[in-house]
């Protein structure tokens, strides 16, 4: 399946040449978990604190089933 992945804020620095406008397109087998995608991209799992799949919050053990859009976010601080 074709998976569209978008990294936000500091997570982008872990993927050389990452284009924030296009994201990353990955071919992964049906049933691949978000945690497996995080590992495949070489992201530190503890730095991914918010996972959005097609606009809905999910956990790292969520199994991907189709042509989803995956957004990964680090912790975001504020004043």
Domain 2-73 in CATH: superfamily? Beta-grasp domain (3.10.20.30)
Give tens-digit pLDDT for 32-42.
999 999 999 99
Q: What is the pTM of this model?
A: 0.91
CA distance 60 to 3: 15
Give tens-digit pLDDT for 14-34.
999 999 999 999 999 999 999
Q: Which residues of 31-51 are buried (b: 16+ CB within 10 A; e: fewer)?
A: ebbbebbbeebebeeeebeeb
Q: Parse the chain into domains and list their residue ranges.
A: 2-73
Confidence check: pLDDT of 58 > 80? yes
């Amino acid at each position: 399946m074709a998976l569209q992945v978008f990294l936000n804020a500091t997570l982008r620095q872990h993927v050389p040449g990452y284009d924030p406008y296009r994201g990353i397109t990955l071919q992964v087998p049906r049933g691949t978990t978000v945690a497996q995608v995080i590992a495949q991209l070489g992201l530190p799992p503890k730095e991914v604190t918010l996972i959005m799949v097609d606009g809905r919050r999910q956990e790292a053990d969520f199994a991907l089933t189709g042509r989803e859009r995956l957004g990964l976010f680090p912790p975001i601080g504020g004043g």
